[in-house]
Amino acid sequence: MLIKVENFLNKAQVSECKQILESADWIDGAITAGHHAKLAKHNLQLPEDSQTAIQLGDFILSVLAQNQQILAAGLPNKIYPPMFNCYQGGGEFDYHVDNSIRRVAGAAVKIRTDVSMTLFLSEPDEYEGGELIIQDTYGEQKIKFAAGDMVLYPGTSLHKVTPVTKGRRLASFFWLQSLVRSDEQRRILYDLDQSVQALTAENPKHPELVRLSGVYHNLLRQWSET
């Protein structure tokens, strides 16, 4: 399931994040890549333990905690602290699948990467190339959203970032371990949740709302892992 979250950050928030990132100390992104990904990864990243990464990451997580679309689509159990990357001068990340388990730096915490997330911090016209390409059952999905928009997609997906041939592409990326491991089951729950929300907005006293809400929670109870 691929979900677009529009205006996760507003333009003022994006501008503030970019100002902080412009003066950040970047390192070679290959340092955090797995064995095979090192050969495909050519970008810059913020060190995970840098104060800039921690400050911006905490801010993003505070916004995420209030975003009902992400909570409904991802059903977060654990969230990996947001990381930040920069693509420029031909930088790219060829096809790869994200590591299935990630250990949080400086903590005895492991997170299964059920859902991958990318938050765009540069406008599409600020760089050339840099599309996030995700392969799914419908073929290749090319993603290049406005600054402040986010995309959620299964961590099992084969994906890449095409070379940035001009300008600079800034983004945050991170993962969540969902209460529901199966992407198919998460899709069913998300579709059901959206239907319940739409029906509630149309007629909050509809007699079937209680039944539908019960179906949702009973499925979540059956499928969830805590």
**Could you list the pLDDT tens digit for every one of the 226 residues in the chain?**
999 999 999 999 999 999 999 889 999 887 765 555 666 789 999 999 999 999 999 999 999 999 999 999 999 999 999 999 999 999 999 999 999 999 998 888 999 999 999 999 999 999 999 999 999 877 899 999 999 999 999 999 999 999 999 999 999 999 999 999 999 999 999 999 999 999 999 999 998 999 999 999 999 999 998 7
Q: Can you tell me the distance from the alpha carbon of 125 to that of 188, in angstroms, rounded to the nearest whole number?
A: 35
Axis-axis angle for helices 209-223, 183-202 (nearest 10): 160
Question: Tokens 């007699």 identify what position?
Answer: 207
Strand partners, 27: 45
pLDDT at site 155? 96
Residue with tokens 């959620």: 152
> Residue 94 has what pLDDT?
95
Which residues, 6 or more positions from 182, have their beta carbon under 8 angstroms from its beta carbon?
223
Which one-letter DSSP state was computed for residue 102?
E
List the CATH code of the domain at 3-178: 2.60.120.620
3-state class (DSSP) for residue 98: coil
| 80 touches 104 (CB < 8 A) | yes
Task: Write down the pLDDT at residue 34.
Answer: 58
**Are 47 and 27 in contact, with CB atoms under 8 Å apart?**
yes
Tell me the fold of 183-223. DNA Excision Repair, Uvrb; Chain A (4.10.860)
48: nearest Cα among 108, 103, 98, 110: 103
DSSP state for residue 8 in the 8-state scheme: S
Residue recorded with tokens 């300008």? 167
Question: Per residue, what are the HEC states of the chain?
Answer: CCEEECCCCCHHHHHHHHHHHHCCCCEEHHHHCCCCHHHCEECEECCCCCHHHHHHHHHHHHHHCCCHHHHHHHCEEEECCCEEEEEECCCEEEEECCCCEEECCCCCCEEECCEEEEEECCCHHHEEECCEEEEECCEEEEECCCCCCEEEEECCCCEEECCEEEEEEEEEEEEEEECCCCHHHHHHHHHHHHHHHHHHHHCCCCCCHHHHHHHHHHHHHHHCCC
Domain regions of the chain by residue span: 3-178, 183-223
pTM of the complete model:
0.93
Residues recorded for the chain: 226
